[in-house]
A and B are shown apart, each in its own frame.
Chain A
């Protein structure tokens, strides 16, 4: 039983190794963009907003006077009002 498990594990490791080597040599196909706008849209979609930004904004809004602050960000950021 144990040896069977060992063989299965070994096979799995070999398959994984093979898959990785295939992945390494596989050429990356170039992607074509018909227009500049299409290229920029793709770039925008691949560009994430830094995760720290939301936290910074939250902190800055907490520093605002109460009238301007309110609790809108609670829905987004969670936590207490103050």
Chain B
């Protein structure tokens, strides 16, 4: 079992030219290459390590079952992200329905007074992840998702736009506000 879960983001083998109907034998490489990115997205979307683990498990299981439906029109990473986003949204929706929470998307950040043009300075502590989670949790869901997706160097603006059903220009515009809102919230967590 050792070495199953790669500690590195570097892929063992880059499957950058997806072919329809990937052989099941290649699924192991797919897991090794993308499991960290999928788990991280789920973790920051769901704010809970156990839920993120469950979600990542379900995403890969779903991906395995639906591999024959993959047409190669997007990258594997994009395809897996789409499954993850839908899965996490369903979980959040179910949770919201049970707890009847208000929609945080109504929150307005434009007037937030904070210095956001300076670099984000942090101490290397184990609390960093908690601070990032707190800042992300305070953002509207769309901003949070955009930031997480563009932080992935494998993702282009066009791919992020396709995943979030909007134009690349819209993504750029929202990202500007999302960065500003995150920086303001992040500094408040210090």
Contacts and interface: CB of A to CB of B under 8 A. Distances in A.
A39 to B, nearest CB: 5
B129 A76 contact: no
Main DSSP-derived SS at the A contact region: helix
A39 B120 contact: yes
B15 interface: no
Interface residues of B, number: 48
Interface in B1-19: 1, 4-5, 7, 9
B28 interface: yes
B65 interface: yes
A54 B190 CA distance: 35
Given A31-B124, A53-B57, A72 B25 contact: yes
Contacts of A72: 23-28
Given A30-B121, A40-B151, A68-B65, A48 B4 contact: no
Contacts, number: 124
A30 B123 contact: yes
A1 B124 CA distance: 46
A53 B151 contact: no
Nearest to A59: B57
B9 to A, nearest CB: 6
A82 interface: no
A81 interface: no
B170 interface: no
A50 B40 CA distance: 11
A77 B33 CA distance: 15
A2 B120 CA distance: 56
Interface string B114-147: 0000011111110011001000000000000001
B161 to A, nearest CB: 16
B155 to A, nearest CB: 10
Nearest to B116: A36
Given A37-B147, A57-B60, A76-B32, 11 more contacts: A28-B124, A36-B120, A44-B9, A47-B39, A47-B40, A48-B5, A54-B1, A55-B1, A64-B65, A68-B64, A71-B25
Interface of B: 1, 4-5, 7, 9, 23-28, 31-32, 35-37, 39-40, 43, 49, 53, 56-57, 60-61, 64-65, 119-125, 128-129, 132, 147-148, 150-153, 178-179, 182-183, 186
Interface of A: 28, 30-37, 39-41, 43-57, 60-61, 64, 68, 70-73, 75-78
